[in-house]
Structures are given as C-alpha cells and as structure tokens.
A = this chain, B = another copy of it.
Amino acid sequence: MLYFASDYQETAHPAILNRFLETAGEHMTAYGSDKYCESAQEKLRSACDAPRAEVRFLAGGTQTNQIVVDLLLRPWQGVIAAVTGHVNGHEAGAIEYTGHKVLTVPQHAGKVRADEVRALIETWRGDAAREHIVEPGMLYISHPTEYGTLYTRAELEALSVLCRTYGIPLYVDGARLGSGLAGRGTDVTLPVLAANADAFYIGGTKCGALFGEALVFPNGNLPERFLSRIKQHGALLAKGWSVGLQFDVLFSDGLYESLGAHADAMAERLRAGMLEKGYETYIDSPTNQQFFAVDDALLQKLDGEVVYSFWEKLADGRTVIRLATSWATTPEDVDALLAFL
C-alpha cells in the first residue's frame, strides 16, 4: 500500500522521540511553566523576530482555533472566514459551540480577498439594523489554505492593514505552516507572519510532532486569564512540557524548516511526475497537499493500492483527490506511486 492520505498519519520525528527518552529522572513543573516550554518560547520568539511574543502550547488544531476565536471575540461577535475555511466546514461546529457565528466570504483557491472582507464589514457597518446582525469581530485565514495555497506577503499585509483599520484581529491557522514556510515561491516567513497577524499557530501535529501546536501572540497580546480559560475549555495540559519539548526540538538546528522543505520537495516531485504523465492538477498548490482532477478509471486503479483523500466531485464527472506528502515521505515512496500510475 502507498500512503498519501494525509500528513498526520505517521509517527513523530525521531529527534523528538529521542529527546523524550532523555528526560528520564527530571522533574518538570506543571501547566507549561517548565524549562522546555520556556526554551521553546524563547526559540519561537527569536524565529519570529518578535521579542515580545507570548507563546503557548496546545494539543490540537481545532482546539487551538476554537480557543483563539472564543478568546479574541467579544461575546456578541463572529469570525470572518472563507466558506472553505476549516472553522466553517470541518470542525463539527466547534466555533458555534462557543456561541460564535462564522461569517463567510467567498474563497478563491482557498483564500479570502481583502475587498470582499472589507465589503462584509462595511455592509454590517452601514446597515441600520446592524444591532440585530452579528458583528464581524476578527478574521480567520489559514496558511497554507485548505487547498494548499499560500498568501503572498503583499496579500497578508493588505489583510493586516484592513484588520487594523477596522480594529479587528487577524488570526492565521498554521496547521501546515511548516510546509507553507517552505512553499514554492513564497515570500512569507515567520517574521512576516508575526508582523502582520495578531495571533497565529505553528502546527506541530502535521509537521513532525507527536501532537501539539504552538500558539503565538506576537505583540505580547495574550488574552486575559489565558490559563484559566483554556482550563475552562478542557485544553490545559498538566504535562505542558510535553509539547514545549517538541517545539524546543523542532526549533533547534532548523529542524522545523527542513521538515517542511522536505515535505514540499516530495510534493514537487510528485506534482512534476504527475504532470509529466498527463494528469491534471485541480489547483496549483505550492505546498505538501496536491490536488488532481481524475476520472473514475484512475480511482479504480488506486483502490486498494494507494491511500488518498477524496476531496470533491466535479460537475464534469471527474473527482478531485488529494495526495499529501509529509516530512516522512521518501523519494522512493513518490517514485513508487508514479511507477504504479
């Protein structure tokens, strides 16, 4: 079987697992107050070129999105997101569970456009009945998006300026940020993210960690009573050090960067091979998720041989499938897939 279904179906990078073994006999303090978290926080501040940044560690992506949205919004506000945004479609209602509405704007290859976000906000502002309408209170984007695409630095800056103009926070979901930072042609770096976002998370689960995400408030703008509130959400880890240690390893010796770069290199190898064989990409993704529009014959061929993700059915009868690479994908894995096809 060839495995291209997702980037969270492999173990953690051995550097992390080995580091865990070395903790034998140590005594850590609880709830993220330990030396591993401290060290990782310092490394992340440095990597983000954001010396005032507050960094916290959580267990998973939907949990992080839910908490950030709930904590950055006032009770009467909603979060703006693309219709295809993870918070809108694939979190089982975790945002609404906290009492907040997701306000959607159109998606363009998974991305939102500043003019359409502005229009949504202006429509609300200009509506005489706006007290009866949920106020747009923050902007959620993901980078890479659900379609593997990336914002350019200019696009991010435009969204950031827009958000600051309207006084609403910009939050970036970086579940696959490792792949995003290494994406083909990108000019978005961690410092660029930190300069433009009010909060973002650096994905661990899908980028080499066993589990865990690093949530960054680049301007020191940690929401009030953060620890109590994540406890209230059931998200406070007693052994917070277990995530801190992983990010400490990931941000040592450029590991996070190199894992992302590797995943993307494998994706490029896959993409080039597929294009060469005449397959058609559904969308031009510069990161580790590659989308192809394929016919039923191929689906039958893949069946039982290749693990992939179904994405959607097209009007022309073809199917969009996703093939995802990861830090653990080898050139041999890719070549085996290409050979099989």
Chain A residues proximal to chain B, CB less than 8 Å: 1, 3, 6, 8-12, 14, 17-18, 20-21, 23-30, 59-67, 70, 74-76, 78, 89-94, 96-102, 128-129, 131-135, 205-206, 210-211, 224-225, 227-229, 231-239, 242, 307, 310, 328
Q: Flag if A93 contacts B74 (CB, 8 Å).
A: no
- Inter-chain contacts of A234 with B (CB < 8 A): 60, 62-67, 94, 233-235
Q: How far is the CA of A212 from the CA of B8 in the complex (A)?
A: 18
Closest B-chain residue to A1, C-beta based? B27
Q: Flag if A224 contacts B21 (CB, 8 Å).
A: no
3 A-B pairs closest in CB distance: A63-B234, A92-B231, A11-B23
Q: How far is the CA of A6 from the CA of B64 in the complex (A)?
A: 27
Q: How far is the CA of A141 from the CA of B29 in the complex (A)?
A: 27
CB within 8 A of A18: which of B8, B21, B93?
B21
Q: Flag if B8 contacts A238 (CB, 8 Å).
A: yes
21 A-B pairs within 8 Å (CB atoms) are namely A10-B26, A10-B28, A11-B26, A17-B21, A59-B59, A60-B236, A60-B237, A76-B92, A89-B133, A91-B231, A91-B232, A92-B131, A93-B99, A94-B231, A94-B234, A96-B99, A97-B232, A97-B233, A98-B99, A211-B237, A211-B238
Q: How far is the CA of A17 from the CA of B28 in the complex (A)?
A: 17
Q: Flag if B232 contacts A92 (CB, 8 Å).
A: yes
Which of A9, A66, A90, A238 has the most chain B CB atoms inside 10 A of its CB?
A: A238
- Inter-chain contacts of A21 with B (CB < 8 A): 14, 17-18, 21
Q: How far is the CA of A140 from the CA of B243 in the complex (A)?
A: 30
Closest B-chain residue to A229, C-beta based? B76
Known interface pairs A27-B3, A27-B10, A67-B234; A78-B94 also in contact (CB < 8 Å)? no
Q: Flag if B17 contacts A133 (CB, 8 Å).
A: no
Q: Flag if B20 contacts A17 (CB, 8 Å).
A: yes
Closest B-chain residue to A100, C-beta based? B96
- Inter-chain contacts of A310 with B (CB < 8 A): 128
Q: Flag if B28 contacts A11 (CB, 8 Å).
A: yes
Closest B-chain residue to A77, C-beta based? B93
Q: How far is the CA of A63 from the CA of B230 in the complex (A)?
A: 10
- Inter-chain contacts of A9 with B (CB < 8 A): 27-30, 239
Q: How far is the CA of A170 from the CA of B243 in the complex (A)?
A: 33
Extra inter-chain contacts (11) besides given A20-B20, A70-B75, A96-B100, CB under 8 Å: A11-B23, A17-B21, A60-B236, A61-B238, A65-B234, A75-B229, A76-B93, A76-B229, A92-B133, A97-B232, A135-B225
